[in-house]
Amino acid sequence: MKKLSHYDDRGRAKMVDVSAKADTRRTAMAHAFVAIKPAVLKKLPKNPKGDPLEVARIAGIAAAKRTSELIPMCHPLMLSHVDVDLKLKPRGVRITSSVTTTGPTGVEMEALTAAAVAALTVYDMTKALDKGIEIQDVYLLSKTGGKSGEYKRK
């Protein structure tokens, strides 16, 4: 049975030592969905705070770069690339983030953080219109690189 890597033999949380790992190219993609009523979606272009999708895109990129400040056992990483894509759908906003680095550990948490913070920003930018907006389906789509190899959500 696999052991959780963020705990020592006494059950205390720890940061994993990645100093012996080789630098390899690593990527990750994550997803989030913000469920918004169609009537509220129609009002997005007229938002007095600015374009919610563009503000959310920038927030997601900034969040990926600060993941290690938010998630205690994440390593600070030099990210090579971050992209956050937001698409209007009939029932809300679909968010996809992608992150790339060359380093000793993966960027799954950075991709998930980017998608989640972009979703939170859409909520923040639209909450005046409807407090019932829901953030849904935050999950990892795929990852490459590292010892565990490739993962693709089925």
pTM greater than 0.85 (yes/no): yes
pLDDT at 63 over 70: yes
Residue 21 has a CB neighbour count (10 Å cut-off) of: 13
pLDDT of residue 6: 73
3-state secondary structure of 150: coil
- Active site annotation includes 83: no
Residue ranges and CATH numbers for the domains of the chain are 25-152 (3.30.70.640)
**pLDDT tens-digit map of 98-139:** 999 999 999 999 999 999 999 999 999 999 999 999 999 999
What is the number of alpha carbons within 13 Å of residue 44 lying toward its C-beta? 24
- Taking alpha carbons only, the member of 31, 43, 7, 125 closest to residue 84 is 31
Catalytic residue among 83, 85, 124, 130: 124
**pLDDT tens-digit map of 32-60:** 999 999 999 988 877 777 789 999 999 99
Of the chain, the end-to-end C-alpha distance in Å amounts to: 23
Dihedral, CA atoms, 26, 29, 30, 36, nearest 10 degrees? Answer: 150
Dihedral, CA atoms, 139, 145, 148, 152, nearest 10 degrees? Answer: 40
